[in-house]
Structure 1
Amino acid sequence: MTSIQMSRTQGVPADTRDRRLGLVLAVCCVGQFMNVLDASVVNVALPVIARELHFGHNLQWVNSAYTIAVCGFLLLGGRLADVFGQRRVFLIGAALFTLASTVGGAAGAPLTLVAARAFQGLGAAVMTPATLTVLATTFTEPKARAKAFGLWSAVSGAAGAIGVLAGGVITEWFSWRWILLVNVPIGLVLLAGIRWVVPEFRGRDGKRSLDVPGAAAVTLGLMATVYGIAESHEYGWGSVRVVGALTAGAALLALFLVIQAKFARHPLVPLDVFRHRSMSAANLVAFFGIAALFSTFFFFTLILQQVHGYSPLRTGLSYLPLSAGLALGGWGISSVVPRIGARPILLGGLTSACLGLLWLSRADEHAHYLTDLLGPILLLGFGMGTVLNVTTNAATADLPPHQAGLASGLLNTTRQLGSALGLVTLTTLSASLTDTGKAGLTGEAARHALSLGYDRALTGAAAFTAAGLLAALAVPARRPPKPFEARSSR
């Protein structure tokens, strides 16, 4: 137990200490649940939003504005938690997220909704790394840390699938506005929980100045890169808009690396952090794993609604087994991580996910849910639940507490980039078959073409998990601790 943890718990009864730790974990999980939920809850409601607010061809910006803001500010958000204190930054992020949800739910014009989604993304970029920083500095013993990250990861994975269910239920029974307004009461409870439960902790560099040039370069670079990716589907990879954005993004990110290596007195991302093999490999695994998982959320929704004719509510209900698999995989594996290490669990989880995706990609327009879809999504859910858990643990376990925010910011930036790059890559891969309007296809022929295109995308998602398997081989192998090692660590 670290000196920080001892000072917090010395003289406190065990049951009181455990109850307080449980409350801290609950607050962090609620914050992360809100963040991930809003990344997926809007998808089912997009057609209704388009009709009610009279969106034109810019409907994709309801999601793109959120993704660009999250990607752009995650690294800065992680660093803010280290420099200014985890509780303060957590409060600011939660307050901004709640306020933006209120504005978005009341939006009467497309621009207002898109702006609100961007500020939601900014709040999520501040809040998400803060939740991991709190967990990393509060739960320092290996078993407790594994369980905490296991539940956090289970919530993260399940929230993406639950978002589709919630979006379907709310859109069909109430109004699309409540997919945003529901965050307001949750956010108010979360703010109270942060204020009264979460301990304050500031890293050793708490009094150091923030690397403003580096922060500006990486934030603008990531935003330009994701903007270019988001616009490629509409304008094509060779357009001036896309090429210009990607070129500017690459130049700014290169400038960021130069600033970190040569000029920054207190760099936003000390490059020597990448010497931690576990952290670097875990980020690669997270990139490919999330690219596969969140792309599958998108395409599985289209398969159910466009190929099989499911309603939004039935689509949401169909995601329940996937949510259960993600939750069981993330939580059930947590007690095993300290004993056998991260690598074998990552290899097993990614293999399960890859097999599930390959199985799912074989389903056509005549597939039945129970015989052709249920099995593969359970395999995918359980496998990716374990991966989400272990990558979070592996990316932060070997770092000192004052770099927990940095590590969590890097990990979540990697995940967001994976989701953005993975989706646009697989959308482009399947576009030639799914653009049935240009091909003049209708009825059964259109459904068949859509099915072929989405199956191609799912095969691509399986390829992402295979790339993740290769990256997982670089994660350090850890032998189970010997009895005298276990005793000495207590």
Structure 2
Amino acid sequence: MAEKVTSGRPSRALRRVLIPLALAQFICSFAGSNMNVMINEIAKDLGTTVQGIQLAITLFLLVMAALMIPGGKLTDKFGRKRCLNLGLAVFGLGALISSFAQGLPTLIIGYSILEGIGTALLIPPVYILTTMLFTDITSRARAFGAINGMGGIGAATGPLIGGIIATAISWRAAFVFQAAIIVVIVLLSRRDVRDPLPAEPDRPFDYTGAALSALGLVLIVMGILAADNNGWLMLGLMVAGALVLAWFFLTVRAKERSGREPLLTLDLFRNRTSNLGLVTQNMQWLVLLGISFTISAYLQVVRGYNSIETGLILTAATVGLLLSSAAAERLAKRRAQRTLVMAGFVLTATGIVLGIALVSVSTSVWAFLPGLFLIGVGVGAMLTPSVNVVQSAFPDEKQGEISGLSRSVSNLGSSLGTAIAGTILVAGITKTPERSYALALTVLAAIAVGGLIAASFLPSTRPAAPAADGLPTTPHPHAKRSERGIPGFTSPDGVDKSTATPDSKAD
């Protein structure tokens, strides 16, 4: 059994365990962000279009969203370490296939499907193993801070690193880089990572629920992608997706009533505060990824910038996001979570409007930077409080499920952002590029305003300070209550019952 920490700093063995887990989060985040700066190179090399690359990126994010919850459930049945290894193997195979792709179908198989499945299999074990091994609250906070810090670095530097590799060598080398990191992770995890608990092969798994939930999400997003080609096809796919998801929820209810274990419990959707938090999470990632794709495609296709130039321009948003994320814990001690989320949406919408205005009057590359920086600051300011709102709305025994749902909703937002904004942009990028660019960003600004409205209904009480990483710890269902270190239970009215004091006033 792997060594655990019960107090103080983690042992040297546990610090070694942390390295492959943090690298796993890094490479998955990198894979989700580096493709945007290579749109032109890949499209030309594979004989496809910007729309084809948009499809590949959207499907990658969608596969993650659709399979993240089933991936978490499988860890109990087959074991955390086994699922981690399987996810790494599938991800690495997908990266290698993508590096040799000679056409869009092969790229979709390698990148969108295999890397997406691999990510959905390996990310839940990363969080579950960390929670099980780092049982002291302080050491766990440091561990999650390191893992999510590497995830932030991967997402933030993906465009720049990907741009450098694509410009200096080839876009294919970016996938070789991913495969190489996977090999390093496998070697490190083989030696140091151990599963504290045995697998439960007899544990039931809701295969029907997993298939229905995945199919429903895929149909809805594919309907959005079909919007610029066939309105009736779009409508048909989205209606079919809605019906499949309704079927999924009916099967969940039937399983709960019969005493069987469903993929998700419906209790997760009965908490008003959590539901609002999930909406804001979805919209944050929708706006962020939609902006990233829109600006990346515009810079490459219309302005003619190469990968590294595009990556450097997007670094303005990266800097803003990292600065505001670094201040998230300090801000959370001074302001209500609702205030931070609302401020984030205001800054993001303002940044979008500023970006549209400056680019419309100037062809200089500097016209992009102020808006991108403001967008980064806004998104960074609200990511942590939105997650904390969702996580603190449930007691210990629900944390594993709500963490999986939270990550799935965030990934769904990412895929919707690329699908919605990309579809608007691609529809007129060759005929009316400036108009399509402004329209895509205007729609994203409107969605940000919708997020602001949703955030205004969040409870305004000042919560307890979040964990150092600002992201959810994912307790394993077998972990002892005293080992979980989860923030106090928050009732549906948003008041933290374990920490609320007479001074917990509205902001």
Q: Which amino acid aligns with 1:263?
A: K
Moved more, 208-217 or 174-183: 208-217
Q: Which amino acid aligns with 1:463?
A: A
After TM superposition, give the deviation of residue 378 of structure 1 in Å: 1.5
Contact persistence 2:36–2:292 (CA under 8 A): no
Q: Which amino acid aligns with 1:71?
A: A
Select 1:43's aligned residue among 25, 36, 39: 36
Select 1:479's aligned residue among 433, 452, 462: 462
3-state SS, counterpart of residue 96 of structure 2: helix
User: How big is the alpha-carbon RMSD for the aligned residues of Structure 1 and Structure 2?
Assistant: 3.5
**Which residue pairs with 1:322 in the alignment?**
317
CA distance in 1, matches of 2:173, 2:78: 33
Moved more, 110-119 or 209-218: 110-119
2:246 aligned with 1:254, yes or no?
yes
**Which residue pairs with 2:101 in the alignment?**
107
CA distance in 1, matches of 2:380, 2:211: 34
Contact persistence 2:98–2:175 (CA under 8 A): yes
Q: Which amino acid aligns with 1:408?
A: S
Select 2:420's aligned residue among 404, 422, 425: 425
After TM superposition, give the deviation of residue 328 of structure 1 in Å: 2.4
**Which residue pairs with 1:351 in the alignment?**
346
**Which residue pairs with 1:238 in the alignment?**
232
**Which residue pairs with 2:477 in the alignment?**
none
Q: Give TM-score, length-normalised by structure 1.
A: 0.82
CA distance in 2, matches of 1:93, 1:44: 26
3-state SS, counterpart of residue 227 of structure 2: helix
After TM superposition, give the deviation of residue 472 of structure 1 in Å: 2.2
Alignment of 1:140-179 (within 5 A): 155-179=150-174
Moved more, 140-149 or 258-267: 140-149
**Which residue pairs with 2:220 in the alignment?**
225
1:131-157 C-alpha deviation (Å, 9 max, x unpaired): 344455566777766666566555545
Alignment of 1:180-199 (within 5 A): 180-198=175-193
**Which residue pairs with 1:93 in the alignment?**
87
3-state SS, counterpart of residue 264 of structure 2: coil
Contact persistence 2:429–2:437 (CA under 8 A): no
**Unpaired segments ≥5 residues, structure 2:** 466-497, 500-507
**Which residue pairs with 2:444 in the alignment?**
461
3-state SS, counterpart of residue 420 of structure 1: helix
Moved more, 167-176 or 269-278: 269-278
After TM superposition, give the deviation of residue 259 of structure 1 in Å: 0.7
After TM superposition, give the deviation of residue 187 of structure 1 in Å: 0.9
| CA shift in 2, pair 1:351/1:36, >3 Å | same
**Which residue pairs with 2:24 in the alignment?**
31
| CA shift in 2, pair 1:141/1:97, >3 Å | same
1:443-466 C-alpha deviation (Å, 9 max, x unpaired): xxxxxx422321222222222222
Contact persistence 2:4–2:134 (CA under 8 A): no
| CA shift in 2, pair 1:346/1:195, >3 Å | farther
CA distance in 1, matches of 2:198, 2:456: 32
2:390 aligned with 1:395, yes or no?
yes
CA distance in 2, matches of 1:319, 1:142: 36
**Which residue pairs with 1:470 in the alignment?**
453
2:71 aligned with 1:77, yes or no?
yes
Contact persistence 1:90–1:126 (CA under 8 A): yes
After TM superposition, give the deviation of residue 64 of structure 1 in Å: 4.1
| CA shift in 2, pair 1:202/1:360, >3 Å | farther
Select 1:211's aligned residue among 206, 209, 223: 206
* Aligned positions, number: 462
| CA shift in 2, pair 1:354/1:199, >3 Å | farther
CA distance in 2, matches of 1:84, 1:342: 37
| CA shift in 2, pair 1:138/1:277, >3 Å | farther
Contact persistence 1:162–1:319 (CA under 8 A): no
| CA shift in 2, pair 1:276/1:202, >3 Å | farther
1:5-62 C-alpha deviation (Å, 9 max, x unpaired): 9x9324x7x3444x66655555444222222222232233333333333347855443
| CA shift in 2, pair 1:399/1:140, >3 Å | farther
| CA shift in 2, pair 1:230/1:152, >3 Å | farther
**Which residue pairs with 2:469 in the alignment?**
none
CA distance in 2, matches of 1:52, 1:132: 37
Q: Give TM-score, length-normalised by structure 2.
A: 0.79
**Which residue pairs with 1:9 in the alignment?**
5
Give aligned-pair identity as a percent. Answer: 28
1:349-401 C-alpha deviation (Å, 9 max, x unpaired): 22222221221121235536575332221221122123223333333345455
Contact persistence 1:225–1:249 (CA under 8 A): yes
| CA shift in 2, pair 1:210/1:142, >3 Å | same
3-state SS, counterpart of residue 267 of structure 1: coil
| CA shift in 2, pair 1:249/1:140, >3 Å | farther
CA distance in 1, matches of 2:309, 2:172: 20
| CA shift in 2, pair 1:387/1:22, >3 Å | farther
CA distance in 1, matches of 2:194, 2:394: 20
After TM superposition, give the deviation of residue 203 of structure 1 in Å: 11
Contact persistence 1:296–1:461 (CA under 8 A): yes
CA distance in 1, matches of 2:381, 2:168: 34
After TM superposition, give the deviation of residue 271 of structure 1 in Å: 0.6
| CA shift in 2, pair 1:27/1:372, >3 Å | same
1:64-86 C-alpha deviation (Å, 9 max, x unpaired): 44234223312211222355443
Contact persistence 1:24–1:198 (CA under 8 A): yes
After TM superposition, give the deviation of residue 291 of structure 1 in Å: 1.0
**Unpaired segments ≥5 residues, structure 1:** 438-448
| CA shift in 2, pair 1:450/1:155, >3 Å | farther
CA distance in 1, matches of 2:84, 2:394: 21
After TM superposition, give the deviation of residue 403 of structure 1 in Å: 4.1
Contact persistence 1:426–1:457 (CA under 8 A): yes
After TM superposition, give the deviation of residue 258 of structure 1 in Å: 0.4
Select 1:375's aligned residue among 365, 370, 377: 370
CA distance in 1, matches of 2:53, 2:262: 38
Select 2:255's aligned residue among 260, 263, 274: 263
3-state SS, counterpart of residue 226 of structure 2: helix
3-state SS, counterpart of residue 277 of structure 2: helix
After TM superposition, give the deviation of residue 123 of structure 1 in Å: 0.7
| CA shift in 2, pair 1:390/1:128, >3 Å | farther
3-state SS, counterpart of residue 266 of structure 1: coil
2:112 aligned with 1:129, yes or no?
no
After TM superposition, give the deviation of residue 436 of structure 1 in Å: 4.2
**Which residue pairs with 2:433 in the alignment?**
450
